[in-house]
Structure 1
Amino acid sequence: MPTALRLFRYVAIAEACSWAGLLIGMYFKYIAATGELGVKIFGPIHGALFVLYVAGVLAAARTAGWSRGTIVLGLACSVPPFTSLWFERRMLSRFREPVAA
């Protein structure tokens, strides 16, 4: 697997994990009203990983030769929580090598 695709995979997984942390932080800030520490920690982390995910989509698209529609879908998957995982698995499944029988 090319390096750009491997890095894209790691960033997509990290972006989804940061979404989880941010959502938990938002629960404690807005629902449980017990403090905003989680949002203060995971907000900037998620922001940085979001930017890295966008760059990763563009780099992986260049390496793999994705169409514009696929690129737009990949970028759109950065917005709803955890859809970066779905997109990453869908796109990288095309690069898995078949297992020898």
Structure 2
Amino acid sequence: MLKFFKYLAIAEGYSFLLILFITMPLKYMGGLGMPNKIIGMAHGVLFLSYVVVAIIVSQLLKWNFKKLLIVLTMSIVPFGTFWMEREYLEDEIATA
């Protein structure tokens, strides 16, 4: 479950950056809305999956509420999921 969460966090982070730096400028500066709709839908699914799996992992690893809140907050911060993965999951995966 931890490796799955690690890869999910990375995928969610890339989808967020793709929307932020590529599809949003295409939509508002280039008038191309379709890439934003497609990537936006994928990002939405990844984001919701990230939240659900983060809650499950927090229960498995017995994280306190503060740690869970930090992990969830990192999903709305650009580059946050990459930092979270290194900070909270790397050691857990190595010891598992």
Normalising by structure 1, what TM-score?
Answer: 0.84
Q: Does 1:39 align with 2:36?
A: yes
- Residue 37 (structure 1) shift: 1.8
- Residue 35 (structure 1) shift: 0.9
Contact 1:22 1:42 in 2 (8 A): yes
Distance in 1 between the 2:47 and 2:32 partners?
A: 24
SS in 2 for 1:70: helix
Matched residue pairs, number? Answer: 93
User: Equivalent residue for 2:9?
Assistant: 12
User: Equivalent residue for 2:62?
Assistant: 65
- RMSD after superposition: 1.2
Q: 1:86 is matched by which residue type in structure 2? A: W
Cα deviation 1:30-79 (Å, max 9, x = unaligned): 1x323112211111100000000101211111121111100001111111
Distance in 1 between the 2:3 and 2:77 partners?
A: 22
Q: Which runs of 4+ in 1 moved over 2 A?
A: none
Identity of aligned residues (%): 33
Normalising by structure 2, what TM-score?
Answer: 0.88
User: Equivalent residue for 1:21?
Assistant: 18
Structure 2, unaligned runs of 5 or more: none
Relative to its length, the structure with more helix (as a share) is: 2
Structure 1, unaligned runs of 5 or more: none
Larger C-alpha radius of gyration, 1 or 2?
Answer: 1
Q: 2:24 is matched by which residue type in structure 1? A: M
Contact 1:77 1:87 in 2 (8 A): yes
